[in-house]
Amino acid sequence: MHHLVSDGWSLEVLKTEFSLLYRSLVEGYEYELESVGIQYKDYTYWHNRLLEDEERMRGPVEFWKKQLAGTIPLLNLPYDFSPNELSGKKSSGYRTVVDSETTEKLRNLGRQYNASLFMVLLAGINMLLSRLRGQEDILICMPGAARQHEDLKNTIGLFVNTLILRTRIDKEEAFANFLKRIQADTLKMLEYQSYPLELICEQLKIKYPQLSFFFNMVNTINPNLPVLDNTEAYHLETVQDAKFDIALYLTEYKDGINLVCCYYSQLFMPETIEKMMQMYIHLLKRIAVSPEKQLKEYQGPAKRRKLRRN
């Protein structure tokens, strides 16, 4: 299905309902799908009216005006080759796993500070991106499901929006405070996930930011987390278009976290991506053990590691 009419959430709905119907036919019992309260066309009608309402648009416009004020940072990634010379979008990938012990510690850490595992992982990736080049103003993007209304949970359609999180890094700040701050910023951003950022930028008369890093924690509709059946790390020579210089996909399992990093192979060597992901996992392990430290104290022995072609 084309992205014009569906998104990742929609595919999960489709797969789940197909599986339930198929099982009922195989086992010989009747199964009736849960009714859909709102069709996609109903949502689009409401959404277009929302975007035309100046009063209701004032909140998101003011929020993004503040978020994108001043010079919008360009994320300084450890490129092996110049982004200016990118002529195609051939993509490769690297897959690895956060082990079960570390994952459980990260979950407990989140509970301790009233934060989800997603927020802990998001805080960690911002810290890593800051460490790579000493950058203190970080801009990354992530998807917003834009299905805040309960009646939209089983509707097939394109609801997802690309959201931008801008994070200032203060190395003197304690991790607990940083986690609390990034959670507040993210939750505020998610309040406005139904408003296309392209239209917001038009209204603010600013250029749409150049985005190079995509962070996506994949949430399945089924609440019963599956078990990882393979913890091996490996490289993928070819994957579907990364769509960003680096796109990181994380999936939570009962016994670990699956990490798949897709990237433009004209910009990065496989060794560079592997080192980045290993640094990320190492950082998460240090956070899980000692969440009370200042951000600068998580540098560790990898501080001066050079992410260059060997």
- The two tokens of residue 12 are 């999960």
Q: How many structural domains is the chain composed of?
A: 1
For residue 275, give the nearest of 214, 233, 223 by alpha carbon: 233
pLDDT tens string 61-119: 899 989 888 889 999 999 999 988 888 889 999 999 999 999 999 999 999 999 999 99
Residue 164 lies in a domain: yes
pLDDT tens string 196-211: 888 888 888 888 889 9
Secondary structure of residue 209 in the 3-state scheme: coil
Residue 193 lies in a domain: yes
pLDDT tens string 138-183: 999 999 888 888 888 889 999 888 899 999 999 999 999 999 999 9
Residue 89 lies in a domain: yes
Residue 20 lies in a domain: no
* CA pseudo-torsion sign 274, 277, 251, 189: negative
The band of 300, judged by pLDDT with boundaries at 50, 70 and 90, is low
Residue 104 lies in a domain: yes
Q: Which domain holds residue 152?
A: 38-302
Residue 184 lies in a domain: yes
What is the DSSP secondary-structure string of 60-74? Answer: HHHHHHHHT-SSPPP
- The two tokens of residue 119 are 């927020």
Residues near 20 by beta carbon (within 8 Å), at least 6 away in sequence: 31, 33
What's 150's domain CATH number? 3.30.559.30
Give the mean model confidence (pLDDT) for residues 133-140: 94
Give the mean model confidence (pLDDT) for residues 43-53: 88
The band of 27, judged by pLDDT with boundaries at 50, 70 and 90, is very high
pTM above 0.85, yes or no: yes
Residue 123 lies in a domain: yes
State residue 309's pLDDT score. Answer: 43
Work out the percent of the chain whose per-residue pLDDT is above 70.
95
| DSSP letter, residue 113 | T
Residue 10 lies in a domain: no
* CB distance 94 to 277 below 8 Å: yes
The band of 17, judged by pLDDT with boundaries at 50, 70 and 90, is very high
* CA pseudo-torsion sign 262, 266, 270, 272: negative
d(CA 161, CA 88): 25
Q: Which helix (H) or strand (E) holds 25?
A: helix 8-27
Strands 213-218, 246-253: parallel, antiparallel or unpaired by DSSP?
parallel
